[in-house]
Structure 1
Amino acid sequence: MSETVLQAAIEAATACADIARRTVLPHFRTSLRADAKSDDSPVTIADRQAEQAMRSILEERLPEHAILGEENGISGASSDWLWVLDPIDGTRAFLTGRPTFGTLIALFHKGRPVLGLIDQPVTGERWLGVTGGPTTFVSDRLPGTIGTRPCPEAAEAELSCTAPEIMTAEHAPRFANLQKHTRRTSWGGDCYAYGLLALGQIDVIAECTMKPWDWGALVPVVEGAGGRITDWQGNPLTLESDGTVLACGDATLLPELVRHLS
């Protein structure tokens, strides 16, 4: 990615995160009604408004790029460049007043994520990763330094997952095997957990049934902090991936984790 394209992409992603934050925050901890989507996951007016606001910015600034959003699908002409948006990753957390949801903004090039941004509107935290460069972290209130921590053995690892019910019948026993080989498991967090992994607070995250808007932004953030993020077979994540996601802060741990999940 050229410096000109990179700068335009960073500015567009930042503008999207800013407007999504302004759109979402007034709805937080209010008596907001949620509708059920076809997969029974909740969606609110905050999700819809934030995605539309981000789309408007991208359509104005980068009209030659396509856009894929969780709420409104794909738009724009066919292009090697694709923005992938999740206005509120963790709508259940958002609806129950927990500040562990986030806005996810990713830019894919030829099917691979090259830019990722995680924004937590309530805490004022923001992670920005670009392929080939270091992840940056900005926080209005909370401390944090970018950089994953050493953890060469699974037995010492803090494992995280959003919720046990996301595991399918096929994946649940594989995840249970991974649990047996790690120190302990914490639940909840959605995209926020990946931000914590990039800050060296969590060692391993394993999830499945993930869509591109769930993981696209996470790849540059985790890898720019020194970690690895793949599918459960250790393969790079692409638009054709199977929905499994495995992230680890210490890259040397990846082969052992893949063995436990196989």
Structure 2
Amino acid sequence: MNSDKIIESAHAMADAARVAVLPYFRSANLNAEDKGVGGYDPVTEGDRAAERAMRDVLAQLRPQDGILGEEFANKPTESGLTWVLDPIDGTRSFIAGAPTWGVLIAVSDESGPIYGIIDQPYIGERFEGGLARAKMTGPHGTGALRVRGSRPLSQSMLFSTYPNLADDTDTEAFNEVSAQVQLTRFGIDCYAYALVASGQIDLVIESGLQAYDIQAPIAVIEAAGGVVTDWQGGKAHNGGRVVAAAGPEQHAAALEILSKY
């Protein structure tokens, strides 16, 4: 495995996705179709264009690798590596014109994600982690990624995409953690995971996730020194119930509550 080539390919995919998706953002002619999965579940031509662009890059640079994407059929791996792609994580935010969506790119082996990118094309921020990297680039230049570190729940900031999680039980568990933290905020999709990795917030708690929702955030946060598991403390790379933490103290305190549900 050539780490440099993997990283180069990932950035080429992120660059291609930026070019493909930005013309659709805040476009007066943007149309959204409802996939009808779990309530209003929109998809746009921007989603499809971004994933097609990334798949085209892989076809040229890494044709032996597999692909697990949100919008198109899976491609089996011949190399042992699979690219896990979410072309627009936060399509609801995308169609509303809010710049909190992102392009998620991860590459995984049999053990889970080994490298990932969270890219926000409109703001121009890119967060990457894994294969001995943990850094971000954006309007302020390039810098290292590092989580905040341990602190008690009473001093922690908690984010999630929706106030109501996948079901009533999950929402009850989330609310029990939320009642103990300093601040709770909602609605910024994958960007919340980037905030954990960059040392801004402490926790993200979600449920009902797919592999393509979480594998890139796992790679980025773990490279920055954070922790991502399921609610029982196990691996989270297949999705489901997920807790991402900026330090072991927040993680353990959240798990003490979440693992009861």
TM-score range, shorter chain: over 0.9
Gaps of 5+ in 2: none
One-letter code of the match for 2:10?
A: A
Partner of 1:211: 210
Cα 1:141–1:42 shift into 2, 3 Å: farther
Deviation at 1:212, TM superposition (A): 0.5
Cα 1:9–1:123 shift into 2, 3 Å: same
The farther-off stretch of 138-147 and 49-58 is: 138-147
Alignment of 1:154-173 (within 5 A): 154-173=153-172
Partner of 1:24: 21
Partner of 2:81: 81
CA–CA distance in structure 2, aligned partners of residues 250 and 90 of structure 1:
26
The one-character-per-residue Cα deviations of 1:8-60 (angstroms, maximum 9, x if unpaired) are: 11011100000100111111111211001140311000100110110011122
Query: What is the RMSD of the two structures over their aligned residues, measured on CA atoms?
Result: 1.7
Partner of 1:181: 180
Q: Is the 2:156–2:250 Cα contact (8 Å) retained in structure 1?
A: no
CA–CA distance in structure 1, aligned partners of residues 142 and 106 of structure 2:
25
CA–CA distance in structure 2, aligned partners of residues 109 and 22 of structure 1:
28
The one-character-per-residue Cα deviations of 1:179-229 (angstroms, maximum 9, x if unpaired) are: 112112101111111111111111111000000000010011101111111
One-letter code of the match for 1:138?
A: T
Q: Is the 2:136–2:142 Cα contact (8 Å) retained in structure 1?
A: no
1:7 and 2:30 correspond: no
Deviation at 1:144, TM superposition (A): 6.7
SS of structure 1 residue aligned to 2:164: helix
Deviation at 1:244, TM superposition (A): 0.8
CA–CA distance in structure 2, aligned partners of residues 146 and 77 of structure 1:
30
Partner of 2:113: 113
Gaps of 5+ in 1: none
Normalising by structure 2, report the TM-score. Answer: 0.93
SS of structure 2 residue aligned to 1:122: coil
Partner of 2:32: 34
Deviation at 1:152, TM superposition (A): 2.1
One-letter code of the match for 1:116?
A: G
Cα 1:142–1:136 shift into 2, 3 Å: closer
Q: Is the 1:151–1:157 Cα contact (8 Å) retained in structure 2?
A: no
SS of structure 2 residue aligned to 1:167: coil
CA–CA distance in structure 2, aligned partners of residues 197 and 223 of structure 1:
10
CA–CA distance in structure 1, aligned partners of residues 173 and 250 of structure 2:
17
Detail structure 1 runs of 4+ shifted over 6 Å in the superposition: none
Alignment of 1:1-262 (within 5 A): 2=1, 5-31=2-28, 32-39=30-37, 40-77=40-77, 79-131=79-131, 133-141=132-140, 146-239=145-238, 243-261=240-258, 262=260
CA–CA distance in structure 1, aligned partners of residues 190 and 143 of structure 2:
16
Q: Provide the identity percentage.
A: 38
CA–CA distance in structure 1, aligned partners of residues 94 and 177 of structure 2:
29
The one-character-per-residue Cα deviations of 1:98-132 (angstroms, maximum 9, x if unpaired) are: 1100000000101400010010001100011115x
SS of structure 2 residue aligned to 1:127: strand
